[in-house]
Amino acid sequence: MRRPAFLRATLCLLTLACHQAMAAPSPYSSLYVFGDSLADAGQFPDLSGSAQGLRFTNRQANGEYAPVSPMILAGKLGFSGSVTGPSTSLSNLLQGRPDGNNWAVGGYTTQQVLEAITDTSQAVIPPGRLGAGLVLRERPGYLANGGRADPNALYYLTGGGNDFLQGLVNSPASAAAAGARLAASAQALQQGGARYIMVWLLPDLGQTPNFSGTPQQAPLSQLSSVFNQALLTQLRQVDAQVIPLNVPGLLGEALNDPGQFGLATGQNLVGTCYSGEGCTANPVYGVNGTNPDPSRLLFNDSVHPTIAGQQLIADYAYSILAAPWELTLLPEMAQASVRAHQDELRNQWQTPWQGIGQWQAFVATGAQDLDFGSQRSAASGDGRGYNLTLGGSYRLDEAWRVGIAAGAYRQKLEAGQRDSDYKLDSYLASAFAQYKRDRWWADGALTAGHLNYDDLKRNFALGPAERTEKGDTDGEACAFSARLGYNLAVDDSTWQLAPFLSADYARVKVDGYDEKSGRSTAMGFDDQDRTSRRLGAGLLGSVQLLPGTRLSAEVAREHEFEDDRQDLTLHMATLQDNDFTLAGYTPASNLTRASLGVSHQLLPGVNLRGNYNWRKSDELTQQGVSLGVSLDF
């Protein structure tokens, strides 16, 4: 059914508004864009009378231009539209509007992209257009006159197509030179202070309406590949976190399976376009077709994407930035398993000691809830888990009890805007000891274990659809925990109150892995190593409610010394030699934990207990309940 024009416009506006309102965390201070018409936000006046500048993409139902990919990405990152407005627009100058951070200009070659950074930015009418060569406005480039780049901003870079279209590339050598010039723009940004630079690989020009089916198709496809290889090689020399976007791979997947991306099936998506400018308008979904809809077509004109193509690229870029916000939660899942295991041990330690020379066996089961709040560089997440713990202790003498315990923990975490699904099985074993003499007491445990991340599903938007990239990996954990306290009451008192000091160490290592699909969106992740070192102080108390029933409670405040942000090194699975490091989860500096338990003697030597445990820091809340039984023999 054909949608009314006003409805299509409303849906588009609502989509952009939702991107803004539901923006996930962003560690970036701003977004700066450099490039050509593929990213131009409207540098040239629109002679049709639109308040927007001319963009090289389709118009929407309301007559305005659709946003280009960096504008969509900016909305996802929570930046206002003014941030990615045009930088050198004559309309801005005449109407007194502030310039934006988008320095991309339609028609720019790679040399002009570089000059807009280091020398002069010109809004110059490109070749082939009426008034070609006329400079409408110019201003100093972004880094001209000794300017410095914002090191906390994200930089977005496109270019190369106009070198081909304007006849500057006609051989492998000239294609490689053009790729090197685009890399020089990234190098200039890095030398100016930029740390995070996202760079498009050039789309396959042979697979555009301008060249598809012509004798130029195969040579241009080959030269596009040469350009990209030179670009990637040079980008590896840039001392910054350079994020390559495999745009040709993504668009190739869209052409091979258009229905998966919301594009029209049974249509020639390369040989036709939406507007009919420089190519054949699609007879169904083109502007004058039987059912005009640019979102069903990949190309607006002979070389430029429709909103569908721009949306795909923006979603793809965002999925890369968001990946470490989710994946750096994997070590935190394991840390949560270790903490739950230690809670189980402390719960067990509150049961009455067996006689000297006797054993005490115990079994416990429990469930946990894990809630990660959103950070600037980490996604929110909700986790659920359950566990089974077995163990036993032996009382050596009046003062000492030693034991062992083993636990299996199953966790599931849903994180990010699309509820990515991460699962972890933890197998932990501990040796522990308890000491009490007079009013002094102490306990400690050594823990080690194996981590099995057997089902990792990273979900993200890709156009109107959702894509999932899957993987699995292993890891290991080790930990040490100790407390030293002093009872304020004598042993046979009906109540006990003991201040204590605590020390905790835990190290989790998650092995690196590659997602399995091999598609343009699949990624590979390096090893992650997360260490926790904490010191704390607290109170442990209990009261005898009935002859066989005792209520216990504990509260402590702990300081985390390992609170640096957890960055993650990653790469695209199809571009393995170009890795980069992005920001992830930041552990809290302080946390509060508390527990409440009750134990009841069912029979002499048989005790039943139930416990509730709670931890809270700035963005993390962990809760757990458990039920256990112990038997002396």
Residue 236 in tokens: 């590896």
How many Cβ atoms from other residues are within 10 Å of residue 596's Cβ? 14
Q: Which residues pair with 483 in a beta bridge?
A: 443, 502
Q: Is 369 a catalytic residue?
A: no
Angstrom CA distances, 528 to 179, 383, 525, stand at: 33, 20, 9
Kindly calculate the radius of gyration of the chain based on its CA atoms and give it in whole angstroms: 31
Grouping H, G, I as helix, E, B as strand and the rest as coil, residue 456 is: strand
Count CA atoms closer than 13 A to 104's CA, side-chain side: 33
State the helix-helix crossing angle for 172-191 and 110-118, rounded to 10 degrees.
20
Among 19, 304, 341, 571, the one annotated catalytic: 304
Q: Is 36 a catalytic residue?
A: no
Among 19, 26, 36, 37, the one annotated catalytic: 37
Angstrom CA distances, 368 to 340, 530, 613, 614, stand at: 8, 21, 9, 10
- What SS3 string covers 272-334? EECCCCCCEECCCCCCCCCCCCHHHCCECCCCCECHHHHHHHHHHHHHHHHHHHHHCCHHHHH
The dihedral region occupied by 104, where left means phi > 0, alpha psi between -120 and 50, and beta the remainder, is beta
Q: CB-based burial of residue 452 (10 Å sphere; 0-12 exposed, 13-18 middle, 19+ buried)?
A: middle
435: amino acid identity, one letter: Y
Among 40, 163, 293, 301, the one annotated catalytic: 301
260: amino acid identity, one letter: Q
Q: In 3-state terms, the chain is what percent helix, strand and coil (to 5)? A: 25, 40, 35
Q: Is 304 a catalytic residue?
A: yes
219: amino acid identity, one letter: P
- What SS3 string covers 217-262? HHHHHHHHHHHHHHHHHHHCCCCCEEEEECHHHHHHHHHHCHHHHC
C-alpha to C-alpha distance for 569 and 525, rounded to whole angstroms: 6
- Phi, psi at 91, each rounded to 5°: -60, -40
CB contact at 8 A, 124 and 136:
yes
- As annotated, the active-site residues are 37, 301, 304
